[in-house]
Structure 1
Amino acid sequence: MAAPWADEPFTLISIPGRGVDLSKAHGSVYVAREMAFAHNGMIRALNSIYQQCIHVSASIDIADLLKYAQFWCQWIREHHQGEEDLFFPQIEKITGEKGLMERNVAQHHAFESGLADFETWLNNCKPESYDGKELRASIDLFGKILSQHLTEEIQTLLDLTAYDGKALRDAWNVFDLEMRKGDKSIIFPIVFGSSDGEFEGAGDWPEVPGPVRLLVHYWFERKHQGAWRFSPSTTWGAKRPLAFTGDSKS
C-alpha cells in the first residue's frame, strides 16, 4: 500500500470554474477559484503535518516539524485576520449588505480557541518531550471545523453573481497583494510548497513571474530550510512523497 499523501485526512476543495473561460467568467467565480487554491494549500499543509507528526523521532526533525507547524498557524492567522479586516468589509461594501460575511467570521471564531491551543502546544513543546500523538490529537480538536469553514466559504463567494464582478476581482487582488507582504522567507515557501499544479487542472498557482520561484527556492527557503522538508510539494507545485511516513526510512 502506498504511503499517504497530503490529500487526507481533511478533504480538499473542488476548484470552481473548471472548463470556463475565466477572462469572461463573473468575478465571483474568479474570487472563489483563487480562494479555493489558497484554502487547499492550507489543507494540504495541515494534512502534511498530521500525516508526518507521528513518524518523527530525531530531535532535529522534531524541531523542524514544530517550526513548520508554527508557520502554518501564522499563515492561517494572517489569512483570516486579513479577511476580517480587509476583504470581507470590501465584499459587504460592494454588495451593500452589511453582515453578509458574518457567518464566515463566526466560523473563524468556532475554531479560534482550538487553533490557539494548538499554537500554544507547539510553542511550549520541546523536542525531548515531543509526542506526535498529542500533536495529532490537538489537530483533531479543530481540524474538521476549520476544514468545513474553508470549504463552505467558497460557496459564499460563488453566490455573489448578482454583484459587480470587476469590483469583486479588484477587492481580491488588493487582499492578495496584502497577503503577499508577509515574511517572504515564510509565506512564499509554505504557499508554493503546498500547491499542486495537477489537482483538477490547477496549473501554475499562485501566478508569479517565472524568476520568483527560483528566487524563493534558492534564497528565501534557505533561512528555514529544514522546515520545508515537511512540505508536500516542491517550490514549483509538483507533488512529492512526504518525507516522514510509516514507510519512511528517514
Structure 2
Amino acid sequence: MAKRWADQPFALIKETGILSRKDIPPDHPAVAMAQQMALSHNVILRGMNASFNQCLGVQPGTTEAHDFLLFNQCLFEILQQHHDVEETYMFGEIERLTKIDGIMDQNMQEHKDFHDGLERFRKYVFKTAAGDYDGQTLKAMLEGFGKIVEKHLHNEIPSLLELKDYDVTGLKRISKEAGKKFASAGDKYRHVPLFVGCSDRTFIFDGQNMPFPPLPFFVPYIIRFLFEPRHAGSWRFNPCDSFGQPRPLGFLNPEG
C-alpha cells in the first residue's frame, strides 16, 4: 500500500476543463488565468494535506511541535493573502471587465463559508505553545474547514474559464497585475519556502507537465541557501524539496 502523501484527503485540481472545451482557443488568456489559479490552489491544498497527514506524528513539547506550528502559521498566511488579493483586487476587476454586477458573488460567499473555521485555525497555530500542542485538535480543525476550502478552490476554476467571452487585453492585464500582487504579498523567509515546497513540479495538469511556479534554474538555489535557513525546521514538513520534487512526508500520522 502506498504511503499517504500530500494529495489527500483534500483533492488536488487535475484539470481546468479546457481539454473538453472546443469553443475556447487553448491560447486564450482565460485558459492561462484558470491554469495558474488552479496550480496555485494546489499549493494550498498540498499544504493542508501535509499538515493533516503529519499533525499526529508531531509530539508536544518538542522542537518539531514549534516548527510545525510555524509551518501552519505560514500556510494560514498564504491562504489568507491569496483570498485578500482576490477580494480587494481580482474579483472587482473581473466585475468591471464583464460589466456584470455580482459575477463573483458566489466566490465571495464561499470565502465567508470557511471564514470562522479558518479563524479558529489561525488562533490555534499562532497562540498555542509547543508544550500545549495537540495533534487531534489541529486535525479536527482541518477537518472542520478543509473540505469547504477544497470545494471553493475547485469551484473557482470553471468560473475563470468562462471569462473566454470578454476582452482579451483586459484579462491579460488583470492576470498580470494579480500575479504581481500575489507575489509581493509574501514574506520571502516564511512563504516562499513553503510555496515552493508545496509545488510539485512533476504534477500532470491538463494532460501535461506544467512546472509551477515558473522559475529560472538558479532561483531554487537562492531559496534553499538564503530563504530557507531562517526557519529551516519548518520546511521538514513540506511534501517537496527546494526544487519542487516530491518526497515522502517525514512525520506521517500513525496508522489506525
Q: What TM-score do the two structures reach when normalised by structure 1?
A: 0.93
Assess if the C-alpha contact under 8 Å between 2:47 and 2:238 holds in 1.
Answer: yes
Correspondent of 1:26 among 25, 28, 31: 28
| Deviation string, structure 1 residues 62-102 (Cα, Å, up to 9, x no partner) | 11110000100000111100001111111111111121111
Aligned partner of 2:145 in structure 1 is: 142
1:47 to 33, 46, 49: 49
Residue 177 of structure 1, CA deviation: 1.1
Identity of aligned residues (%): 34
How far off its partner does 1:222 sit? Answer: 1.2
Which residue of the partner structure matches residue 190 of structure 2? Answer: 186
Distance in 2 between the 1:221 and 1:19 partners?
A: 40
Q: How many residues align?
A: 247
Shift of 1:19: 11
1:219 maps to 2:226? yes
**Which residue of 115, 128, 131 maps to 1:128?**
131
- The CA RMSD measured in Å over matched residues stands at 2.0
Shift, 1:213, TM fit: 1.7
Q: One-letter code of the match for 1:151?
A: H
Using the alignment, how far apart are the partners of 1:19 and 1:224 within structure 2? 43
Q: Tell me by how many angstroms 1:2 deviates.
A: 2.9
Structure 2 runs not aligned, ≥5 long: none
Which of 157, 168, 174 is residue 165 of structure 1 equivalent to? 168
> Which of 95, 115, 127 is the equivalent residue of 1:92?
95
String of CA shifts for 1:93-143, please: whole Å, max 9, x gaps: 111112111110110010011000011011221222221011100111101
Aligned counterpart, 2:75: 72
Q: Which runs of 4+ in 1 moved over 4 A?
A: 17-20
- On the 8 A contact 2:241/2:247 being kept in 1, the answer is yes
Aligned-partner Cα distance in 2 for 1:211–1:103: 40
